[in-house]
Amino acid sequence: MPKKENKMKVKKTEVKKPVKAVKEKAGKEKDASAERGKRSYNLLRGMHDILPKDEKYWRPMYDSAQGLASHFQFGRLETPVLEEQGLFVRAVGKGTDVVDKEMYAFEDKDGTKVAMRPELTAAAVRAYIMHGMWNMPQPIKLWYWGSMFRHDRPQAGRYRQFHQVGFEIFGQADSAADAELILMSYDFFKDLGLPVEVKINSIGTPTERANYRNELVNYYRSKRSYLCEECRNRLVKNPMRLLDCKEDRCQPVKEEAPQIINWLGADSKNHFMKVLEYLDELGIPYQLDNTLVRGLNYYTHTVFEFYVTDTQTGQQSALGGGGRYDLLVEEMGGRPTPAVGVALGLERTVLALKQFNEKNNREMPKLPTDAFIAQLGDEARRVTMKLVDQLRNTDVKIAFNFFKTSLKNQLELADSLKAPFAVIIGQKEVQDGTVIIRDMESGIQEIVDQKKLVTVLKRKLGKFDDKR
Ligand code: AMP
């Protein structure tokens, strides 16, 4: 018995001492850092970091967007984050959530009313007019990639700073332009391995819409007592958004609501039908959705949104959307210019990809490594660094780790990266000006002149020079 007691005592004191000591130390450090006026910082609400672990999503998105832009001949547009507040108020419109509730708007030090861009179409229109692009051969095709800011209620896939990639076509009224943008967006998601479908609608011309709006208001007024609080507000402020309501109690009213398609004139119907014919021809899956109106006021005719094809999860948020805005350029002080655009939300796409991959046991494809360069000793490391730099602009994808010293470790790395070849440089190779090329599968090694490394590797990899 006494023995046991003794043992326990020892244990207790052993455990207690260090914890106490650690706590005291941490406390002292805290006091000391507080004295130095230091504290650690967190992110602002609704903001997020994009870390290297997510590069496997962001890089393919950028590569796809850039590839599409170059293939479909869009020029890159970069505009400032800060613009005059009035630009967005006028383009996006009063009564929209984006302008009324979510815009980061403030007075600059000189009293100018500025806003951090909540979207980029308004700025693209400003740039189109300001830089006289209407004077150039039409259509003008622009694309952008950047941060947008909306003081939204943060939740999964909804941030206060988020990224969009967008494509805009100015000076083309034909349905082919609408179809081109839907095709590009569809291809963007296809490149990432994400199956999507399009929801599409036409909201016609402002006159057609105004007539429809009256009918809608009359109908909703008669059902006022069944509506949610927000919809009662919408009825006064922005009736088209009534169709956007997701509240359960409003759904029966929404289902019976008049449909805009019945208010469209022949031209609007014709334009819309032609867009659908293109989509049929291209094999792009779409759903006609007569409640789709989009949240920004500048749209006319075609509007569309992209959703992950997934019948199981039901209600989801859009990955992106767009539409025609045939009157906006003129409203913003330019010449009458038909236009159409799309913006795809990148955080939402990453989230959808992660969910899709998890469900389907899928991983993002890794960039293949052609060869791993392993080095032994300081001199070899210097030569390797030079070789790595020389290989930068060739189409041989090289991997290396200057900080691992044992050959075994480096070959294990080469193995984990599935590099078909290892290039080994030791003391002897440095002196001879050679390298060893090792076939990772067969283990067969070959000594090659350093100067011929690229040529030999390319031949082995089946990547031939044009001059061959
Ligand atoms: P919108 O033009 O407002 O429909 O925005 C286009 C796309 O941007 C949406 O479909 C979303 O993917 C994305 N998006 C909009 N607002 C946010 C937000 N607060 N956080 C993250 N993504 C957003």
Q: How far is the CA of 345 from the centre of ligand 1 (A)?
A: 5
d(CA 246, CA 446): 67
Q: How far is the CA of 243 from the centre of ligand 1 (A)?
A: 18
Q: Choose one of 47, 104, 164 to mutate for the ligand 1 pocket test, by most ligand atoms within 8 angstroms of C-beta.
A: 164
pTM above 0.85, yes or no: yes
- With tokens 């130095």, the residue in question is 36
pLDDT over threshold 70, residue 382: yes
Contact 103, 151 (CB under 8 A): yes
pLDDT over threshold 60, residue 467: no
Return the domain boundaries, the chain. Answer: 52-204+264-359, 371-458
In the CATH scheme, what architecture does the domain 52-204+264-359 have?
A: 2-Layer Sandwich (3.30)
d(CA 201, CA 182): 13
d(CA 163, CA 264): 34
- Is there a cis peptide before residue 239, judged by omega within 30 degrees of 0? no
Q: Provide, for the chain, the percentages of residues in helix, strand and coil under a 3-state DSSP scheme, each rounded to the nearest 5.
A: 50, 20, 35
- If you average pLDDT over every residue of the chain, what do you get? 90
Q: Which amino acid is at 211?
A: N
Instruction: List all residues 6 or more positions away from 364 whose beta carbon is below 8 Å from its beta carbon.
Output: 56, 57, 60, 193, 353, 357
Contact 450, 423 (CB under 8 A): no
Q: Which atom of ligand 1 is nearest to the CA of 343?
A: 6
Q: Which has more confidence, 315 or 239?
A: 239
Domain topology for 371-458: Rossmann fold (3.40.50)
Let me know if the fold of 52-204+264-359 is the same as that of 371-458.
no
**pLDDT for 427:** 95
Q: Which atom of ligand 1 is nearest to the CA of 158?
A: 20
Q: Which has more confidence, 309 or 30?
A: 309
362 SS3 class: coil
Per residue, what are the HEC states of 167-230? EEEECCCCHHHHHHHHHHHHHHHHHHCCCEEEEEEECCCHHHHHHHHHHHHHHHHHCHHHCCHH
Segment 43-101, tens digit of pLDDT: 999 999 999 999 999 999 999 999 999 999 999 999 999 999 999 999 998 888 899 99
Q: Identify how many contiguous H helices and E strands the chain contains and give both numbers.
A: 16, 16
pLDDT over threshold 60, residue 466: no
Using a 6 Å CB cutoff, which residues line ligand 1? 119, 150, 152, 157-159, 162, 164, 295, 318-321, 343, 345, 347-348
Closest listed residue to residue 425, CA positions, set 456, 402, 391: 402
pLDDT over threshold 60, residue 19: no
Give the pLDDT band (50/70/90) at residue 314: low
Contact 330, 337 (CB under 8 A): yes
**pLDDT for 27:** 57
Q: How far is the CA of 320 from the centre of ligand 1 (A)?
A: 6
Q: For the ranges 135-144, 186-195, 240-249, 273-282, which has the lowest average pLDDT? A: 240-249
Q: Which atom of ligand 1 is nearest to the CA of 98?
A: 3
